[in-house]
Amino acid sequence: IRRPYPEMIGLVLTIAISFPPTYIDNAGSDKDISSIMGFSGFGKKARTFDLDAIFEQTRRTAIERSRQVLVSLKPLHPGTASSLCSGQTCCEWYTVMCSSVCVCVGICVTRNPVESGSDDSDSDSDSEPRIGPLLPPGPTAGGEEVDVGPPLPPGYGKSTADDDDEDEEMQDEDDENPVKRIPDTHEITLQHGTKTVSALGLDPSGARLVTGSYDFSIRFWDFAGMDAALQAFRSLQPCECHQIKSLQYSNTGDVILVVAGNSQAKVLDRDGFQVMECIKGDQYIVDMANTKGHTAMLNGGCWHPKIKEEFLTCSNDGTVRTWDLSSEKKHKDVFKPRSLQGKRVTPTCCTYSRDGKLIAAGCQDGTIQIWDRNLSVHTKFHCRQAHANGSDTSCLTFSYDGTILASRGGDDTLKTWDIRNFKKPLNVATGLTNFFPMTDCCFSPDDKLLVTGTSARRDEGSGKLVFFDRQTLQVVYEVEVASASVVRCLWHPKLNQIMVGTGNGLAKVYYDPVRSHRGAKLCVVKSNRKEKHAEALTQDYIITPHALPMFREARQRSTRKQLEKDRLDPVKSHKPEPPVSGPGRGGRVAAHGGTLSSYIVKNIALDKTDDSNPREAILRHAKDASENPYWVAPAYKK
């Protein structure tokens, strides 16, 4: 047993367990059982153990060994208490006996220095031995607390808590300032093409991005599957030669709504395969409510925020229609915007409210009309002079709390509206150049900022992403995107990343390594994939080890030599055929044509005028004819 350190308790466990060979011969009972069972004469006698006797002897052995250890120890003198414990305690050793375990415990007995000089009987009655570790010391007379535990490492003094408080206060200030939460510190650029990126769509989980352009194509980008090369994994043209107007994932992320320049919207799955195509209406019917679909070019569309099978489209035929995925042969409802005189007007954009109960449309006459989703006849809210007459309202979007409507107009303005008081706008921002009929505006995830893009002419400036305060519509931040117009912008609430589509075919993603999550952060850390050797072969090599020698292909030993041989082969190198000379053969016509008409037309244009004397030209052969009359003279002899 080692001597304990000051202010610590020594705990020694001495366990001695032995199993002496104690056997009990139950010969009489075994014989009776053996005779009854019929195998009394087989084998040796089985031994049984008495566990109680074993434990009793083990206990006695442990007690005896503990006594021998205690006898060898000398009792501690009270004067040596200060060397082992503090000045107010002394250590005493007690032996606690258990049934089979002997435990030696060192106990520190606390003594009051004031009462140490009193009677022993009083001290014995008042102060009893305290078993267990010492209690931490309380505050001293000066009111300062004593540090308990090991010393702190350097750099972690008492000011650490104060520093933490200061950091928390600074973080709270950053959280209160929405500009600090804009994720614009890093960016990646996705090259869609050379024409305007007119549509952006991001699924609810933020795993895939889809972009559409004026070049009629749609590209799919998978952030988790891309590497640093930032290449799209699929490209297709779902609407042939029609510009893409709008792309949006459904609220479940399994299908994509594609709105193009034709009259039929399409729904694709996540891999680009067609799920549904809306029917085309009859353009010879005057009342558009009696047709089954749109009859003119589409302008926009979006999904219902609550019902995953319903979506909305608007068209130049002057209608806003709702559709259901389960019934593609006919629309669900028709909403017809009307001017003040009751005439038909063209809706240029449409959207649902956040709860899906309202449908809003911006029209070419500058009005914003809002219907109840279940009542398609009369408008519920109507603003006649929202934007300039004749301009295309490019975007309508509701705030996340559902009370504010933001409108981006073709008159270079951005306005916010309270739908409870829809007569006049809350705030107006001017001077925002807009050249495109689909320029976006969107709210930040915390609903404190409003974002839109500005347009710029080629070589006359750069397009910007402008951030406004929602309450005052004052510019709080600007980001220069590119030397082209900013057409589309999308701020994903889950990723906290901003997607921007530009007029020069680029799609940019802005993110913050600290505040953003997944998305673009997944692909920028991956290195470019190395090209596989099999992809560099001139042609596929089929390995057939059990083929006959006459059908077995020769193994390619060198790619360079094989390329040289293929270059000399006119079939493998796809050598173009030379031009045909003569009348033509093999179904090919010669350069001047192989028919009589083409020959005559060619010769008509030739200048065959002869300025020489015709008499001299005829008499030029007279001498030869008289000397050698082969053609003319013999025929007239008879």
CA distance 581 to 591: 7
What is the residue type of 217?
S
Contact predicate 313/300, CB 8 Å? yes
Say what the pTM is: 0.58
What letter represents residue 333's amino acid?
D
CB 392 within 8 A of CB 348: yes
252, 270 contact by CB (below 8 A): no
Q: Which amino acid is at 16?
A: A
Closest CA to 471 of 492, 493, 443, 448: 448
Query: What are the average pLDDT values for consecutive 10-residue runs of the chain, which has 638 residues?
Result: 41 38 46 56 64 88 86 52 42 43 43 41 46 53 52 52 54 68 89 92 91 93 87 89 92 92 92 91 86 92 91 93 88 89 90 92 91 84 86 91 90 90 89 90 91 88 90 90 90 91 91 88 76 49 78 70 84 81 66 67 69 79 80 66
Task: Please give the structure tokens belonging to residue 205.
Answer: 């989980």
**What pLDDT is attached to residue 467?**
93
Give the three-class secondary structure for 159.
helix
Specify whether the CB–CB gap between 217 and 234 falls below 8 A: no
Residue type, 110: T
Is the CB of residue 274 less than 8 Å from the CB of residue 328? no
How far is residue 66's CA from residue 56's CA, in Å, rounded to a whole number? Answer: 16
- The candidate with the shortest Cα–Cα distance to 441, out of 406, 476, 401, is 406
Q: Whose CA is closest to 209, among 634, 631, 438, 498?
A: 498
Phi then psi for residue 361, to 5 deg, are -140, 135
Distance CA 199, CA 259 (A): 9
Residue 546 DSSP label: T
What lies within 8 Å, CB to CB, of 330 at 6+ separation is 279, 292, 293
Category of 225 on φ-ψ map: left (φ > 0), alpha (ψ -120 to 50) or beta:
alpha
Contacts of 503 (CB under 8 A, 6+ apart): 196, 197, 436, 455, 463, 484, 485, 486, 487
- Residue 123 pLDDT: 42
Residue 101 has a pLDDT of: 41
Give the pLDDT of residue 160: 47
Strands, E assignment, 373-443: 381-383, 395-398, 404-408, 413-418, 427-430, 441-443
Kindly state the DSSP code that residue 46 receives in the 8-state scheme.
Answer: P
Side-chain-side CA neighbours of 150 within 13 Å: the count stands at: 3
Closest of 270, 208, 218 to residue 245, by C-alpha: 218
Instruction: Determine the pLDDT at residue 609.
Output: 67
Buried b (16+ CB within 10 A) or exposed e, 444-476: bbeebbbbbbbbbeeeeeebbbbbbbbeebeeb
Distance, in Å, from the CA atom of 359 to the CA atom of 336, rounded to the nearest integer, reads 12
Output the CA–CA distances (angstroms, integers) from residue 488 to 505, 506, 558, in the order listed: 11, 11, 50
Is 375 strand, coil or helix? strand
The DSSP code sequence of 230-243 is ---SEEE-TTSSS-
Sheet holding 274-277, edge to edge: 244-249, 255-260, 266-269, 274-277
Structure tokens at 249: 């994932």
Cβ(157)–Cβ(483) under 8 Å? no
Would you give the DSSP letter of residue 297? -
Question: Residue 405: what residue type?
Answer: L
C-beta of residue 523 within 8 angstroms of C-beta of residue 493:
no
Q: What share of the chain is helix, strand, coil (3-state, %, to 5)?
A: 20, 30, 55
Separation of alpha carbons 488 and 482, rounded Å: 13
| 484: number of Cβ within 10 Å | 20
What pLDDT, on a 0 to 100 scale, did the predictor assign at position 615?
A: 84
